[in-house]
Amino acid sequence: MDHLQQSFAVRFTYNVFFTEHLFAPANSLLTDFLQSRRQEGTTQKILFVLDSGVVAHHPELPTQITSYFASVRTASLVPDLLILPGGEAAKNDPDLVEQIVDAVDRYGIDRHSYIAAVGGGSVLDLVGYAAAISHRGIRHIRIPTTVLSQNDSGVGVKNGVNYRGKKNFLGTFAPPVAVFNDLTFLTSLDDRDWRAGISEAIKVALIKDKPFFDWIEANAAALAHRDMVAMQYLVHRCAEMHLQHIAGGDPFEMGSSRPLDFGHWSAHKLEQLTNFDLRHGEAVAIGIALDSLYSHDLGWLTETEVNRILTTLHTLGFSLYHPMLDADNSVGILKGLAEFREHLGGRLTIMLLETIGKGVEVNEMDADRIRRAINTLREQELINL
Amino acid sequence: MDHLQQSFAVRFTYNVFFTEHLFAPANSLLTDFLQSRRQEGTTQKILFVLDSGVVAHHPELPTQITSYFASVRTASLVPDLLILPGGEAAKNDPDLVEQIVDAVDRYGIDRHSYIAAVGGGSVLDLVGYAAAISHRGIRHIRIPTTVLSQNDSGVGVKNGVNYRGKKNFLGTFAPPVAVFNDLTFLTSLDDRDWRAGISEAIKVALIKDKPFFDWIEANAAALAHRDMVAMQYLVHRCAEMHLQHIAGGDPFEMGSSRPLDFGHWSAHKLEQLTNFDLRHGEAVAIGIALDSLYSHDLGWLTETEVNRILTTLHTLGFSLYHPMLDADNSVGILKGLAEFREHLGGRLTIMLLETIGKGVEVNEMDADRIRRAINTLREQELINL
């Protein structure tokens, strides 16, 4: 049959910078970046969107940003900094997407201009989405402020908002033009947010990098006590592995598998069952514990290995059981497994562990083994209380 | 400074098929395509969105589609075919995006499933946008029904809707997984829509392919009399050049130039000034005439060449003057030039003609020369009346 074939590749390139005090007058990292991207004859504007939770901990931030840009000639700051609610609420309110799109319109932000988001993963997801759909994609700069966003979602290529309560129902794949990981923001996180981000590092170490898991295990107490040097290494290594995974795989997930999602199928459901009272990273820690026990039950992970994993999670301060694990099957995590299968288009793909540092994919999970793993988590929780 | 560099390429591949009677029971083109894309163990659903204007001319279409899929095993048709208004109205109503997203939710359309759009460029733009933002991109099949969409926008990679009257303010770059150009739909177009699509072919011929312009000139009368064989060739060649332009250039327009847009700066403004009473292709015909005269005024195109262009446009039945060309400067097409400059980020890039078949970019346009070209168009219109 008569046809024309179209085929082309689009290259995406961006840097993830590590710094401290990004908006200090002496720190030229951001302005150097903007200067390097400037095209002669064009005007670069930059619109900032700030997470209200970050501003609450850093009330000086808006003034700092305004001062920082006062003497900058390579880009012109939109004087009106948008401050939007952080956390999952950022992704549940369609008006917030509209507020950003309105600002794009009002201030004439074009495809040579930038939207910079400063905040946790939810605000980055929201702003990334609004930037991606405005003018078919405005240049987007991410300045993640949590452990989780600095080492995982913030350095990746996804964005999204919820739609009628369905997580990330609306979104696109749209790489940022740059990410600036400012360690300073991590100092003001509360303990839960500090800890929650670590579970993605454990996840990636368990499926790909035994030496990294060994390091996390050895540094778990230091991390729990908020050792900044240890956290700096953890964020850097985890971000590096996340970037490698994206570049080496299927960046826009046009195929079917999602092999980095160890411990995630139950985590997604637990977040929803607890009405997002459990943070993503806290739910992932439980999911990692569950799927590690399941892998042991299959005869893959040794008992020593599974104990090392559970002990490391405990040392970091994670709680590894939640009553919602025992919710009725009709709404509980087995339902989550069915939903995950549907989400993947009917063919289930779940990552489990053959050994520490080596993940392996399976296409089915057994309800009895899941139940046994949950029982173990419940019993261990009682012992730990 | 410490940083990680991310770099990856994403490949996009799709076919543009040429056929007739796509939904005839004996035509297996579409089902063969779906079969070729099927992954074992997954369920492919397909949701159709139809342009109400097309259904008005082809009232049997919904039944045809339902019958066609009745015996198909490779994909399961969502029984509820959405019929949405066509034309620019499709892109002005945010509720229509929501209607499609709601259907995605209601029928569980996932990333292994398809949304197929049957219609003119506006409906394709609307549906493409809704598909692109749902679940970070649902597979999108385009079945363009107008000359313009079969030879230009429908085979490309853009989508979009208007926002508060601003054209294509919201949109993404998202290639379809396949395009099916069914010649049958062209037979039922009214004369204006038949003709309007030809101007994009003239545009691309003028800037890139003299033999193609020679062919259009020689076949202008046949095309005006709705010769189907001539139209088939025109659509095929124009689509081919449009695909080559995308693949050979900057598919997602991450740089700054838009070199295929000959005759478009004034056309966009004329569409708006006439409240979309002028169709896009009709406005482009005027824009081509204007910028051809301008190119002649600069001493580039010869008088013979500019007359060949104007005569070809006339033979095809285009009107080459509109009173809005003489609208006051504060709102008129010179304002459009300023807006176009702003849209491009401050640096103007306009394609003009050195000779037939060879476009050349300039970075400024002279108001007096534009005025002279408009005067010529007005005078010629009086002679032709």
The per-residue DSSP string of A263-306 comes to THHHHHHHHHHTTT-S-HHHHHHHHHHHHHHHHHHTT-S-HHHH
pLDDT over 70 percentage in chain A: 97
For A40, which residue in chain B has the nearest alpha carbon?
B347
CB contact under 8 A, B240 and A19: no
- B95 CB near a chain A CB, below 8 Å? no
Residues of B in contact with A19 (CB under 8 A): 1-2
> What is the number of H-type helices and E-type strands within chain B?
17, 11
pLDDT tens per residue, range B237-256: 999 999 999 998 889 988 76
Which residue does chain B place closest to A232, by CA atoms? B2
Contact across the interface for B163 and A101, Cβ inside 8 Å: yes
Alpha carbons B337 and A100: distance in angstroms, whole number:
27
* B172: nearest CB among A5, A137, A240: A137
SS3 B238: helix
Q: Measured between beta carbons, which residues in chain B are less than 8 angstroms from residue A363?
A: 41
The shortest CB-CB distance from B170 to any of A133, A164, A346 is to: A133
Instruction: For residue B59, give the nearest of B69, B71, B50, B72 by alpha carbon.
Output: B50
**Over A180-244, what HEC string results?**
EEEHHHHHHCCHHHHHHCHHHHHHHHHHHCHHHHHHHHHCHHHHHCCCHHHHHHHHHHHHHHHHH
Provide the pLDDT for residue B249. Answer: 85
CB contact under 8 A, B6 and A342: no
pLDDT bin (cut points 50, 70, 90) of residue A71 is confident
**Which two tokens mark A11?**
């290259």
Report the pLDDT value the prediction gives residue B256, as an integer from 0 to 100.
Answer: 62
pLDDT at A100: 98
Please give the pLDDT value at position B86.
93
Q: Tell me the pLDDT band of A257, cut-offs 50, 70 and 90.
A: low
Query: Which of the residues B3, B35, B113, B167 would you substitute to probe the A interface, choosing the one with the greatest number of A C-beta atoms within 10 Å?
Result: B3
Task: Flag if A19 and B6 touch (Cβ within 8 Å).
Answer: no
Q: Tell me, what's the pLDDT at A347?
A: 78
**Minimal Cα–Cα distance from A105 to chain B, Å?**
9
Q: Does A338 touch chain B (CB under 8 A)?
A: no
* ipTM of this complex prediction, to 2 decimal places: 0.93
- CB contact (8 A) between residue B16 and residue A10: no
Domains and CATH numbers, chain A: 15-188 (3.40.50.1970), 191-384 (1.20.1090.10)
Stretches in chain B below the pLDDT threshold 50: none
* Contact criterion met (CB < 8 Å) for A132 and B171: no
Name which of B5, B44, B101 is nearest A163 (Cβ-Cβ).
B101
- Round the average pLDDT of chain A to a whole number and report it: 93
- Do the Cβ atoms of A162 and A94 come closer than 8 Å? no
pLDDT tens figures, A83-95: 999 988 899 999 9
In DSSP terms, which residues pair with B349 in a beta bridge? none
Residue A151, SS3? helix
Q: What are phi and psi of B251, to 5 degrees?
A: -55, -40
Cβ(A305)–Cβ(A296) under 8 Å? Answer: yes
Whether residues B17 and A39 touch (CB distance < 8 A) is answered with no
The answer to whether B15 contacts A29, with C-beta atoms less than 8 Å apart, is no
**Chain-chain contact of A158 with B173 (C-beta, under 8 angstroms):** no
pLDDT of A141 over the 90 cut = yes
Cβ separation B6–A345 shorter than 8 A: no
Place of tokens 């949950």: A374
The H or E element containing residue A101 is: helix A94-106
* Residue with the larger pLDDT of the pair B41 and A161: A161
pLDDT reading at A259 higher than 60: no
> Smallest Cβ distance to B110: which of A166, A172, A343?
A343
Name the minimum distance, in Å, from the CA of A254 to any CA of chain B: 8
Place of tokens 């995406």: A12
Tokens found for residue B201: 């072919």
pLDDT score, position B308: 98
A132 at B interface, C-beta within 8 A: yes
Residue A109 exposure: Cα atoms within 13 Å on the Cβ side: 32
User: Are A17 and B5 an interchain contact pair (Cβ–Cβ within 8 Å)?
Assistant: no
What's the confidence (pLDDT) of residue A40? 75
Task: Determine, for residues B171 and A6 on separate chains, whether the beta-carbon distance falls below 8 Å.
Answer: no
Residue A372 main-chain phi, psi, to 5 deg: -65, -40
pLDDT of residue A342: 73
Q: Which stretch of DSSP H or E encloses residue B378?
A: helix B367-384
In the block, which residue shows the tokens 């208007």? Answer: B162
B299 and A CB contact within 8 Å: no
Judge whether residue A281 has pLDDT over 60. yes
Tell me, what's the pLDDT at B317? 97
How far the first Cα of chain A sits from its last, in Å, is: 70
Question: In this predicted structure, what is the pLDDT of residue B258?
Answer: 60
Comparing B12 with A73, the larger pLDDT belongs to: B12
Question: Is 90 exceeded by the pLDDT of residue A329?
Answer: no
Interface-testing mutation among B1, B2, B6, with chain A (most A C-beta atoms within 10 A): B6
Nearest to A16 among B6, B41, B108 (CB): B6
Chain B positions in Cβ-Cβ contact with residue A253 (cut-off 8 Å): 111, 136
Compare CB distances from A3 to B18, B110, B133 and report the shortest one's residue. Answer: B18
Q: What are the angstrom distances between the C-alpha of B228 and each of A324, B23, B47, B231?
A: 66, 20, 31, 5
Separation CA A222–CA A323 (nearest Å): 29
